[in-house]
Amino acid sequence: MLEFTLNDGNRIPAIAFGTGTALYNQDASAFVRLAIETGITHLDGAQMYENEETLGKGIKSSGKPRSELFITTKLHILKPGQTVRETLVESLGKIGVDYVDLFLIHDPTANRKEATLSEIWSQLEALKNEGLTKSIGVSNFKVEDLNEILPGAKIIPAVNQIEFHPYVLKAASPIIELCKAKGIIVASYGGQTPIVRVTDGPLKDLLPKIRERLEQTRGSPVTEGQVLTKWLLQKNVIAISTSSKESRIKEFLSTVDVPDLTKQEIESIDNAGSTIHKRIYMKHIFNE
């Protein structure tokens, strides 16, 4: 399994299975078990997904040792008087683990009335120091959000999880550059957008050509989805996807065995992708 090293020294599997979107507020247990049995080790959860219990159930039923899994959850809305620690302890109870590998601030616009981003971040720092989470990071942070917490941060976020695919490349460039400069690993959600949600975009004719070239080089099937995932991995971006289908999870995992895109192929995707802006999820990240 391909892994990246975080800025705190911990390792993170570069391919992750998400329990949001399609599994939001659903019983995720069978899907999580299937994903783990198919080879997934990195599970992306969140308090907001309202399915942490079934994430835990799926983990337990897979029989996979905790030490071989990388589990993420994310801070949602604080109830009046509730601390960030209390929410994480609740999540740990629901998932049925003693610690998570990564705890993220899910949304910089949430909890603004209760605390500043820096105050929330310092609570996450304390949770890492206590060992309730191995690493800490953020999600949906744009440049201004990171710049709000960085000056007072004792620990630099390890990860920023954002919507990232070729159709937001141009708008995402400032935050990607800042993350790179600070050693923050970017994790992508919505990465399959050019073949799932915006199917008539400027990559329509390019992806099949690259797919065909890779398939000839590989000597076995390559899909357009793998081209998009490979594009992420070669940019050192973690790919988070989800699927209800074993075949698609296998395909997602086996992207690491697909030959590399050439520099020219990456540039051609970058250039074509940058000609439009199509965001699916959180509006505020791209200052729209």
Ligand X SMILES: NC(=O)c1ccc[n+]([C@@H]2O[C@H](COP(=O)([O-])OP(=O)(O)OC[C@H]3O[C@@H](n4cnc5c(N)ncnc54)[C@H](OP(=O)(O)O)[C@@H]3O)[C@@H](O)[C@H]2O)c1
Nearest to 122 by CA among 152, 151, 145: 152
Q: How far is the CB of 173 from ligand X (least distance, A)?
A: 19
Question: Cβ closer to ligand X: 94 or 106?
Answer: 106
Contact between residue 189 and residue 161 where contact means Cβ atoms under 8 Å apart:
yes
Q: How far is the CB of 145 from ligand X (least distance, A)?
A: 13
User: Looking at beta carbons, which pairs linking 227-230 to residues 24 or more positions away fall under 8 Å?
Assistant: 227/258, 227/261, 227/269, 228/165, 228/166, 228/191, 228/192, 228/194, 228/195, 229/15, 229/191, 229/192, 229/255, 230/255, 230/258, 230/260, 230/261
Find all residues with CB under 8 Å of 238, minimum gap 6, and list them: 4, 12, 14, 15, 16, 42, 159, 161, 185, 186, 187, 188, 232
Q: How far is the CB of 168 from ligand X (least distance, A)?
A: 12
**Position with the least CB separation from ligand X:** 18
Catalytic one among 49, 99, 167, 281? Answer: 49
Which lies closer to ligand X via its Cβ, residue 6 or residue 190?
190
Which amino acid, residue 10?
Answer: N
Q: Is there a catalytic annotation at residue 167? A: no
Least distance (Å) between residue 103 CB and ligand X: 13
Contact 181, 232 (CB under 8 A): no
Task: Give the residues lining the site for ligand X (CB under 6 A).
Answer: 18-22, 44, 106, 139-140, 161, 189-193, 195-196, 225, 240-245, 248, 281
Q: Which residue lies nearer to ligand X by CB, 6 or 252?
A: 252
How far apart are alpha carbons 12 and 6 in whole angstroms?
A: 7
Count of Cβ atoms closer than 10 Å to residue 24 Cβ: 15
Q: Is 76 annotated as a binding residue?
A: no
Please say which residue, 242 or 255, places its beta carbon nearer to ligand X. Answer: 242
Annotated binding site: 106
By annotation, the residues acting in catalysis are 49
Annotated binding site for substrate: 106
